[in-house]
Amino acid sequence: MQQAITIADLRAIARRRLPRMVFDYIDGGADDEVALGLNEARLREVKLVPDVLVDVSAVRTGVTVLGQPSALPVFISPTAASRMFHTAGELAVARAAAAAGIPYSLSTLGSTTIESVGAAHPGGRNFQVYVWKDRGVVRETLARAKAAGFTGLILTVDVPVAGNRERDPRNHFTIPPQVNWHTATQTLARPAWLWDLATSAPIRPENFIEASKGHSGGVMEFLDRQFDRAVTWEDAAWMAREWGGPFAIKGVATAADARRCLDCGATAVWVSNHGGRQLDASPATIDLLPAVAEAVAGRAEVIFDGGIRRGQDAVKALALGATSCAIGRAYLWGLAAGGEAGVRRALAILEADIRRTLALIGCPDVAGLSGRFIAQGQPRR
């Protein structure tokens, strides 16, 4: 892992370890993958201008994420079924996050129980939900998350329907991945991954096994039927009341919706396009951020995600109004490359980048980042 110098190096190792269908599930986006590419490209285009002759002998990187301290301005975004990428899965990521002093967010589609993730991370831990038709199941899940010490709730709102990720059907990808005549060549080419899959517990949405019992079809079918496509702001407000603690709405794109988030009780507005996996015609998230930050005007946290591959990307997002940044693929590639050690490596790379960038722009504290550090001609806060 020490040989990986960049997040791109971890991605290259992940590509060598995973069958194509699993690698592509992490790597890919919706339709023509324009939004995915734009997220990265537009972040890269943002330029920082330094203050010089500033004492940067000590650099402060701590922020608040959903009311909890985070040692870094980046934290773990929720992603489905991590055990597909490495059998240590969510627990490996949660432990690496705990070691780095940053919050972990467990996806509703996680492949590890709420209780074991809760025990693996003593700090800020967030649970991500969708609104299920059966509100009783939602209530029960929230109660479990509370009992396991989860501190924040994230409602993801950019999945009214599943995005059109064309790599998946082309590769015959399923959750859990199947070894059959369509996938034999790619899976047999990755024997270490295949051995792990064959010798470990089945990969499934662990937190809904009980709820799905007694219903026809498997747990995946149960969740598919539970997905409520009629969800509106009233449901978001209900969720905020039901949780009664730090609450983020993830997948917000406009200033008007950011204001609605505040009206319905959100304590964090999360600018995201699901890493380009949903609406392919979405603008780059970094282009959406300034207007959302302006609308929120300090009344709530502003979380940013999409395309963070280097620490300087997070510094740019904070300068453009985010209070923290979530990472998806950056840690998933680390997980796939080397389990917990790979995630630790990804976080160490990002931390070193963030510290270096802050020193290079003469900003010894992330709290001091503002539009002042963004070069002329760039979107400003």
Ligand X SMILES: Cc1cc2nc3c(=O)[nH]c(=O)nc-3n(C[C@H](O)[C@H](O)[C@H](O)COP(=O)(O)O)c2cc1C
CB-CB contact of 290 with 381 (8 Å): yes
Binding mask 75-94 toward ligand X (x if CB under 6 A, else -) reads --xxxx--------------
Instruction: Tell me the residue type at 25.
Output: Y
Distance CA 293, CA 183 (A): 45
Token duo for residue 145: 């998350």
Q: How far is the CB of 308 from ligand X (least distance, A)?
A: 5
Look-up of token digits 């922020």: 63
Interaction of residue 301 with ligand X, rule CB under 6 A: no
Binding mask 8-47 toward ligand X (x if CB under 6 A, else -) reads -----------------xx------------x--------
Interaction of residue 344 with ligand X, rule CB under 6 A: no
User: Number of residues in contact with ligand X, rule: CB under 6 A?
Assistant: 25
Q: How far is the CB of 207 from ligand X (least distance, A)?
A: 12
Interaction of residue 321 with ligand X, rule CB under 6 A: no
* Residue 274 among the catalytic residues: yes
| Residue from the set 329, 344, 346, 361 that interacts with ligand X by CB under 6 A | 329
Q: Which is nearer to ligand X, 109 or 374 (CB)?
A: 109
Distance CA 163, CA 186 (A): 24
- Could you tell me which of 249, 77, 33, 261 has the C-alpha nearest to residue 159? 249
Interaction of residue 151 with ligand X, rule CB under 6 A: no
Of 54-62, 273-281, 290-298, 346-354: span binding ligand X (CB under 6 A): 273-281
- Nearest 5°: the CA angle 151, 253, 363 is 70
Our CA dihedral for 210, 180, 175, 224, rounded to 10 degrees, sits at: -70
Distance CA 66, CA 374 (A): 26
Interacting residues with ligand X (CB under 6 A): 25-26, 39, 77-80, 107, 109, 128, 156, 250, 272, 274-275, 277, 305-308, 327-330, 332
